[in-house]
């Protein structure tokens, strides 16, 4: 098992460069290819507003403004990508089998971001999603949820600042659910490559299903040596306790299942997934 293709949706946020750094770091570890994808807004999406009582002239003006703004954003994102790969001496080429170095390419398409990102992610080993800027709600990211809910593939949320290392000390958040089992399978290439692996578990986090000791036995069959770390909630927040345990392990990658409870429930009431999305300072790989 290996990582050969990464998808990186770029929307033009300030976090884009940190995500590029994270994706490139992963690509260099695996001699993989990074496809940077920018989805331009389709100006025709404003047309439904005509049903809200706006005149045809106003709709046309809105479409023109949307098209102009979309073109400017696409130009800025492509410029950021080209400057980045030039500064870091990354070969811009198409993906190919047996590459001995990391490569990258850029693509711009027009349409609905959540649809196109999910479709492209289905043939990527890993999708790296930029962390939203300060003040934005990470749990509302269209790209993130498109991959989680509609691609069948894992997604890695890049931290706001590019990490200095990734995948050497890996934590696995385990609660016995189907989502956490999927995350372990997706993380197997990382676990087999890591210098140290810790399974994190808590009574407040565990659901009906195999326990952490069962997971250790399973990992051993795949040649992965791990230990168990038991954590407690911090200020009644299970997610805070989980992140504290990753920091104590000096982890540079956290792997976990996403949304064991419904997304709506977590958006309204909070939850471990939401807390980790909003507060993690290391790369987090999620699978659902």
pTM summary value: 0.89
User: Can you give the pLDDT at residue 46?
Assistant: 60
Q: What is the mean pLDDT of residues 159-169?
A: 94
CATH of 169-287 among 3.40.50.620, 3.40.830.10, 3.30.70.1110, 3.40.50.300: 3.40.50.620
Does residue 197 surpass a pLDDT of 80? yes
Nearest-angstrom CA–CA distance, 88 and 75: 20
Nearest-angstrom CA–CA distance, 184 and 180: 6
Q: Which of 162, 137, 166, 161 is CA-nearest to residue 278?
A: 137
- Kindly list the domain boundaries of the chain, sorted by start residue: 5-157, 169-287
Q: Which H helix or E strand runs over 21?
A: helix 16-30
Report the CATH superfamily, name and number, of domain 5-157: HUPs (3.40.50.620)
Neighbours of 218 (CB within 10 A): 14
Q: Which of 142, 147, 242, 168 is CA-nearest to residue 199?
A: 242
> Would you place residue 114 in the very low, low, confident or very high pLDDT band (cuts 50, 70, 90)?
confident
Q: What is the mean pLDDT of residues 118-122?
A: 95
Q: Which H helix or E strand runs over 279?
A: helix 272-279
User: Can you give the pLDDT at residue 111?
Assistant: 87
| Per-residue pLDDT tens over the stretch 77-87 | 999 999 999 99
User: Can you give the pLDDT at residue 3?
Assistant: 94
User: Can you give the pLDDT at residue 118?
Assistant: 94
> Would you place residue 265 in the very low, low, confident or very high pLDDT band (cuts 50, 70, 90)?
very low
Residue labelled with tokens 């992610």:
121
User: Can you give the pLDDT at residue 268?
Assistant: 39
Q: What is the mean pLDDT of residues 194-205?
A: 96
User: Can you give the pLDDT at residue 261?
Assistant: 56
> Would you place residue 52 in the very low, low, confident or very high pLDDT band (cuts 50, 70, 90)?
low
User: Can you give the pLDDT at residue 164?
Assistant: 94
Does residue 53 surpass a pLDDT of 90? no
Q: What is the mean pLDDT of residues 15-23?
A: 90
Q: Which of 27-36, 107-116, 140-149 has the lowest mean pLDDT?
A: 140-149
**Phi then psi for 145, rounded to 5 degrees?**
-75, -25
| Cα dist from 233 to 106, 183, 204, whole Å | 42, 22, 8
Residue labelled with tokens 């195999």:
210
Neighbours of 236 (CB within 10 A): 8
Q: Which of 107-111, 139-143, 200-204 has the lowest mean pLDDT?
A: 139-143
Out of 18-27, 57-66, 261-270, give the one with best mean pLDDT.
18-27
């Amino acid at each position: 098992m290996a990582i050969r293709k990464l998808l990186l949706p770029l929307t033009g946020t300030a976090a884009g460069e940190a995500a590029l750094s994270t994706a490139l770091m992963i690509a260099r570890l695996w001699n993989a290819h990074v496809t940077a994808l920018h989805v331009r807004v389709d100006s025709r999406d404003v047309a439904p507003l005509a049903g809200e009582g706006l005149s045809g002239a106003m709709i046309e003006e809105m479409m023109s403004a949307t098209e102009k703004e979309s073109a400017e954003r696409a130009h800025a994102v492509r410029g950021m990508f080209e400057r980045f790969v030039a500064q870091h001496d990354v070969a811009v080429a198409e993906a190919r089998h047996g590459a001995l170095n990391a490569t990258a390419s850029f693509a711009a398409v027009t349409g609905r971001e959540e649809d196109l990102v999910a479709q492209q992610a289905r043939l990527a080993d890993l999708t790296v999603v930029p962390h939203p800027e300060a003040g934005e709600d990470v749990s509302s990211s269209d790209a993130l949820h498109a991959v989680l809910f509609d691609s069948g593939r894992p997604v890695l949320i890049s931290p706001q600042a590019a990490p200095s290392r990734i995948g050497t000390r890996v934590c696995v958040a385990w609660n016995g659910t189907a989502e956490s089992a999927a995350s372990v399978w997706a993380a197997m290439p990382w676990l087999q490559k890591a210098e140290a692996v810790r399974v994190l578990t808590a009574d407040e986090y565990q659901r009906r299903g195999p326990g952490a000791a069962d997971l250790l036995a399973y990992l051993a069959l795949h040649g992965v040596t791990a230990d168990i770390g038991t954590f407690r909630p911090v200020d009644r927040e299970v997610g805070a306790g989980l992140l504290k345990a990753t920091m104590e392990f000096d982890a540079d990658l956290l792997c976990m299942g996403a949304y064991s409870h419904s997304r709506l429930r977590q958006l309204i009431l909070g939850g471990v997934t939401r807390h980790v999305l909003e507060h993690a300072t290391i790369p987090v790989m999620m699978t659902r």
